[in-house]
Amino acid sequence: MYELYVEGESYERGVAAGKLTRELVQYQEEVFTNQIHQLVPSDFYLSILQLFVGWFNRDLDAHVPDEYRQEIYGMSKAASHEFDDIAPPYQRILNYHAAHDIGHALQNMSLVGCTSFATWGSASEDGSLIVGRNFDFYVGDEFARDKIIAFYNPADGHKFMMVTFGGMTGVLSA
């Protein structure tokens, strides 16, 4: 496990996190793409998957708050150009935040998924609904190896802590 502390405006946090975890960002991307190639060994089906994800996520950035887009953009500065054939760094890192959608594309193969929970009523302090999702879908031991305990102190909003991977920012489920 690695530990990370970042603070400031969203773009600054992204650049700092990217610089501090550059090797982890690049390693996670390499492991993730290698695992996708193992799960989908056909170049033809990979191209179909790439088209599907591209079409499915074509308006993804319109549904991500500016704060997170800025942070992801800052972090994408640390991404390798080795995978530019997939997409430019910002688009790749942004789409990795929606990786569970790739899982949905592969769900008939029962290969990936995240655990989640919900509670309300007498099980929550004020009776309101609380929903959480772990970003723990399994794409191999190598992907899960280098987790980061990240402490965030945003210029606006609440401080928070999360367990994450290189190249990921924010709590991935709202």
The more confidently predicted of residues 157 and 11 is 11
Phi first, then psi: what are they for 79, rounded to 5°?
-70, 150
Strand order in the sheet with 160-164: 2-8, 148-154, 160-164
Phi first, then psi: what are they for 8, rounded to 5°?
110, -160
Percent of the chain having pLDDT more than 90? 41
Question: What single-letter DSSP state applies at residue 172?
Answer: S
Question: What single-letter DSSP state applies at residue 124?
Answer: S
pLDDT at 102 over 70: no
Under a CB-based contact definition with an 8 Å cutoff, are residues 24 and 2 in contact? yes
**Residue 139 pLDDT level (bands cut at 50, 70, 90):** low
Q: Please report, for the chain, the start and end positions of each structural domain, with discontinuous segments joined by +.
A: 2-164
Q: Of 168, 164, 171, whose CA–CA distance to 136 is shortest?
A: 164
Give me the residues paired with residue 164 across strands.
148
Under a CB-based contact definition with an 8 Å cutoff, are residues 166 and 148 in contact? yes
User: How many Å apart are CA 20 and CA 24, to the nearest integer?
Assistant: 9
**Residue 134 pLDDT level (bands cut at 50, 70, 90):** low
Can you give the pLDDT at residue 73?
A: 97
**Residue 173 pLDDT level (bands cut at 50, 70, 90):** very low
In which residue are the tokens 């942004």 written? 94
pLDDT at 174 over 50: no
Enter the tokens of residue 26. Answer: 């690049």
Q: Of 32, 139, 29, whose CA–CA distance to 80 is shortest?
A: 29
Residues 6+ apart with CB under 8 A from 173: 116, 131, 132, 133, 135
User: How many Å apart are CA 21 and CA 17, to the nearest integer?
Assistant: 6
Q: What is the pTM of this model?
A: 0.77
| Mean per-residue pLDDT of the chain | 85
pLDDT at 122 over 90: yes
